[in-house]
Amino acid sequence: MQEKTFEVPVPLRQAADTTGVQYHRLRKAAGDGRLAAQKMGNQYVVLLSDVQRFLQQGDRRRRPPDNLQGETAPPTFPASTPEKIVPQAKPALKPDPLKLARIITITAPKGGTGKTTTTLNLGAALAELGYRVLLVDCDPQGNLTLSAGIEASQLKSSLDSAIKHYMATYTPQIEPTIIKAPVGLDIVPSNIRLAGTADEMLINSQGVWVLQKLLRSVRPNYDFILIDTLPSLGVLVKNALVAAQELIIPHESEPLSTEAVAMMMKQVDIIRRSELNSDLKIAGILLTKVTKSKVHREVIDFTRDEFGKHVRVFNTVIERSVQFAEAQGLHKTILSYKPKDKGAQAYRNLAQELLYGSAAVKFSEADEELAMSEEHS
């Protein structure tokens, strides 16, 4: 028998993108056995060689390849756990210099909704799929910077210095502030000095456009730029909304957070009508810190019934878990700290929804994974 080279399985959607085949075609083939695939969580992983073989055989029921004489059973994946498979998977994506990054702001005018957690771990999930990701910390508290493993007091340059330079010269220079963080992602860090700079932006004629101007030069270098914000509707948040194409609204599953979601949707409408950013879209509302409590269930149902009439409410939900705080305390993402944790899989699902729409994660699947028991909360 000819020796087979080692090959690492990739997510089914990545295989579809790489081969130019419709995802639903491959998923159906995997489900009925025509394509060798392995189920991991809510998604399949496959070998690209098996996909190519499936396509060459014209969708026929799978049979042994000619060069594997005497082998009657379908080839199996290497005995690896999911956490070992994902980091080893080589990106199939090739940088396109003509393609500009999708800029997504993660914001809500309420603290504790999971903005920083979502920015960090969604970025990690997209990077895991091979996308080039830049994180931007637009919060003077610098929580994203710290969570990514960067000591704010040691920064020589940051978002604050880039903004000041632009307002003094009207020359955008954000590249010198970009750092490869210990978590493995590029980041524009922030520190408390950004609060003072925000006051200066209020009296500058270009104050609301600064972040948009700064990010313009680096958009060709990335596939996604994710902006973390502070819990307000001030000039820094307006900058983040003007700079973005889309926004994600993290919604803690509490009654008080519902009002914050409504406020943010109203703010988006104002941004559009004022033509500060008429093309701004809401990518979706993300339910966070979910538990099995009756109150949370009522808030979830209300959110899907009321807000879901106007914008997408992601099928993915983020459960309340101490694992997120532990990961950030160790300057890790949840995907590297606990690769098999429900939280890690949830952010992988969120990345899939962003890339392929809500059909990528069925509501029933997400609902079955709701909330961990109280001992984990």
Instruction: Specify whether the CB–CB gap between 182 and 148 falls below 8 A.
Output: yes
The C-alpha atoms of residue 355 and residue 338 are separated, in whole angstroms, by 23
Lowest mean pLDDT: which of 15-19, 125-129, 146-150, 328-332? 15-19
The amino acid at residue 50 is D
Buried b (16+ CB within 10 A) or exposed e, 168-190: eeeebebeebbbebebbbbbbbb
Q: Which residues are paired to 40 by β-bridges? A: 43
Residue 205: pLDDT band with limits 50, 70, 90? confident
Residue 311: pLDDT band with limits 50, 70, 90? very high
Checking if the pLDDT of 251 tops 60, the result is yes
82 against 16, higher pLDDT:
16
Residue 362: pLDDT band with limits 50, 70, 90? confident
216-227 pLDDT, tens digit each: 999 999 999 999
Per-chain mean pLDDT for the chain: 82
Residue 11: pLDDT band with limits 50, 70, 90? confident
Which helix (DSSP H) or strand (DSSP E) does residue 343 occupy? helix 342-356
The amino acid at residue 6 is F
Q: What is the pLDDT of residue 371?
A: 39
The 3-state DSSP class for residue 147 equals helix
Q: How many CA atoms lie within 13 A of 190 on its CB side?
A: 24
Checking if the pLDDT of 9 tops 60, the result is yes
Checking if the pLDDT of 33 tops 60, the result is yes
Show the tokens assigned to 20.
Answer: 């130019």
Checking if the pLDDT of 101 tops 60, the result is yes
The C-alpha atoms of residue 163 and residue 193 are separated, in whole angstroms, by 11
Q: What is the pLDDT of residue 40?
A: 62
The C-alpha atoms of residue 327 and residue 333 are separated, in whole angstroms, by 6
Checking if the pLDDT of 2 tops 90, the result is no
Name the residue among 325, 298, 324, 314 with its Cα closest to residue 353.
314
